[in-house]
């Protein structure tokens, strides 16, 4: 299960603000952990899937080609003219067949 990190941080910050506003001067570690876990569990799960990273592979092995394959599902892009790798990635940042994120060989996240 995944939750929104910002929502979790906001809930924990709110818990601290309420504790301070209620005049608490010290922590009861066990009680605070139990309460924070209750708060975090109440946060709605997000609908997410893992990101799959891939690359466009030129059919002829060069950096300029008119046909490029998805490294994950082998979907072939065919252009009417030779395209350099940079243009292929710019025009097709995702594979339209399998949804793979084309990362040019570097994952940023």
pLDDT tens string 78-100: 999 999 999 999 999 999 999 99
Question: What would the mean pLDDT of 46-69 be, rounded to a whole number?
Answer: 91
Q: Is the pTM of this model over 0.75?
A: no
**74 φψ region: left (φ > 0), alpha (ψ -120 to 50), beta (else):** left
Strand order in the sheet with 56-58: 56-58, 64-70, 76-84
Q: Give the start-to-end residue ranges of the domains of the chain.
A: 5-42, 53-102
What's the token pair of residue 61?
């092995």
């Amino acid at each position: 299960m995944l939750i929104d990190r910002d929502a979790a941080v906001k809930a924990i910050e709110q818990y601290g603000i309420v504790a301070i506003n209620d005049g608490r001067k010290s922590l009861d570690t066990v009680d605070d952990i139990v309460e924070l876990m209750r708060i975090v569990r109440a946060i709605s799960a997000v609908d997410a899937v893992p990101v799959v990273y891939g690359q466009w592979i030129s059919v002829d092995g060069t950096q300029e080609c008119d046909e490029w394959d998805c490294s994950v599902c082998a979907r072939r892009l065919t252009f009417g003219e030779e395209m350099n790798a940079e243009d292929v990635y710019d025009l097709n940042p995702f594979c339209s067949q399998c949804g793979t994120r084309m990362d040019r060989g570097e994952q940023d996240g």
